[in-house]
Structure 1
Amino acid sequence: MDFLTTRRNAFSSRRFKFHLSGKRLRGLLILAALLLQTGVGAPAGFAQDYSKIISAFQNSYLHEAAGDLSAAITDLKNAYDEDSYEINLRLGWLSYSLGLFSDAQSYYNKAILLKPFGVEARFGIVLPQSAMGNWTSVISQYEKILEIMPNNSTAMHRLGLIYYGKNEYAKAERYFEKVVNLYPFDYDALVMLAWTNYRLKKYREAKILFNKALMNTPSGVSAMEGQELMK
């Protein structure tokens, strides 16, 4: 139960989603309208191509905000270019959101091939991969992210969660410990390292970590459960 009660969802990060609403959506729509009007000073043919793409994105955002994901996908397919990183990335997210996991994986893979040193498409592709239970590929993507960004705490935390869920506590400890070293007062990192130490029978370390987690969030359910076990 301690694993499930942590506050962080292992496979979603708003930073890497293309769900837009409120102020951010309005800002993008205004920018899109300006670009459509001005052509951003590009040659006529070039500006026309971009106007079509920007219009497709604008319509796609509006349809997504209205909850019509199929229409949001169609908007981008009407302007589809297989060499467009941005279109493939967004189609990956929309396809995943609609439950089209194979399609989502295909689009994300195209985005990764186009920008192999980027991490956002790799964070995206783990969504359909995890939904399909392809944990080997999920782990591989997080490891690749850490090759590109060795101190990426999101990838480390999620790898820790995966190994914790697989009862591979020594591997989980390695990742959680790195996150705590980067963020010594982060509740999620502290509480998961505490539970991992508890599973490894490192009770003294676990007790200290549970108490530190409670300093951050005195009402933290998972940390309180752990603290009770230490009495």
Structure 2
Amino acid sequence: MTLALMVAFNSSAQDNVIAAFKQSYDLEKTGDFKTAAEKLKAVYQEDGYEINLRLGWLHYLSGQLPESVDYYQKAVNLKPYAIEPKLGLAFPLSMQGNWNQIIGLYEEILKTDPQNSLINYRLGLIYYNRENYNKADPYLEKVVNLYPFDYDGLILLAWNKLNLQKTREAKVLFQKVLMNNPGDTSALEGLELIK
């Protein structure tokens, strides 16, 4: 095959992939996730990061969780330092209740991006919900240090401090929440418990 013929063939193949992506987006908008995935499977490339990522999302939307995990995992394997496939993988894993796997994913993300406020918040929330307040605390502290006036970070850290019986710190944080959202019932409830 001549070089010109190979370039033309590769260009045509890439055009087909782009067209399949467009069709899959159009079908997703109508809620036809299965057909959207089929359009991509028609041009599937095992080593295609983007196509595996997209198929992970479409299978998640259609409730095919094991398939979603498989495609997202392929994307993770293709780009091990990328954050987006790990965030995507957390969707089906959470629906399956695989929280320990999610913790592992999030810890991997923090190795690449230790200041990631979303991941720090989510890890703090997981440990808070497990009533492991000591483990939640450094993650939530980091979120509030990065975003000192963020409602979600402030209120969760305030409740975490209260559960750690650090009432002075909790009180200050609940008061900051009230500056952010005057009359906030959660903050008022926390302050009432401190009295």
Same fold, TM-score > 0.5, yes or no:
yes
1:60 to 2:29 alignment: no
Match of 1:94 in 2: 58
Find 2:71's aligned residue among 78, 88, 107. Answer: 107
The separation in 2 between residues aligned to 1:220 and 1:81, in whole angstroms, is: 51
Match of 1:162 in 2: 126
The separation in 1 between residues aligned to 2:191 and 2:58, in whole angstroms, is: 42
The separation in 2 between residues aligned to 1:140 and 1:67, in whole angstroms, is: 32
After the TM superposition, which residues 145-184 of structure 1 pair with which residues of structure 2 at under 5 Å, given as runs?
Answer: 145-184=109-148
Q: Deviations over 1:192-226 (max 9, x none)?
A: 00000010111111111011011112243322322
User: Residue 135 of structure 1: CA displacement?
Assistant: 1.0
- The runs of at least 4 aligned residues of structure 1 exceeding 6 Å deviation read none
The separation in 2 between residues aligned to 1:94 and 1:220, in whole angstroms, is: 38
The separation in 2 between residues aligned to 1:136 and 1:69, in whole angstroms, is: 28
User: Residue 83 of structure 1: CA displacement?
Assistant: 0.5
After the TM superposition, which residues 43-82 of structure 1 pair with which residues of structure 2 at under 5 Å, given as runs?
Answer: 43-82=7-46
The separation in 2 between residues aligned to 1:86 and 1:166, in whole angstroms, is: 35
Query: SS where residue 218 of structure 1 aligns?
Result: coil
After the TM superposition, which residues 4-23 of structure 1 pair with which residues of structure 2 at under 5 Å, given as runs?
Answer: none
Change (3 A) 1:224 1:129: same
Kindly tell me the number of residue pairs found equivalent between the two proteins: 190
The amino acid across from 2:188 in the alignment is M
The amino acid across from 1:70 in the alignment is K
Kindly indicate whether structure 1 or structure 2 has the higher relative contact order, using CA contacts under 8 Å at least 6 residues apart.
1
Q: CA RMSD in A?
A: 1.2
The amino acid across from 1:86 in the alignment is E
The separation in 1 between residues aligned to 2:75 and 2:138, in whole angstroms, is: 30
After the TM superposition, which residues 198-213 of structure 1 pair with which residues of structure 2 at under 5 Å, given as runs?
Answer: 198-213=162-177
- Mind listing any 5+ residue stretches in structure 2 that lack a counterpart? 1-5
The separation in 2 between residues aligned to 1:56 and 1:107, in whole angstroms, is: 17
TM-score (norm 2): 0.94
Find 2:189's aligned residue among 225, 228, 231. Answer: 225
TM-score (norm 1): 0.80
Change (3 A) 1:171 1:49: same
Match of 1:134 in 2: 98
More helix, by proportion: 2
The separation in 1 between residues aligned to 2:17 and 2:183, in whole angstroms, is: 48
The amino acid across from 2:157 in the alignment is L
- Mind listing any 5+ residue stretches in structure 1 that lack a counterpart? 1-41
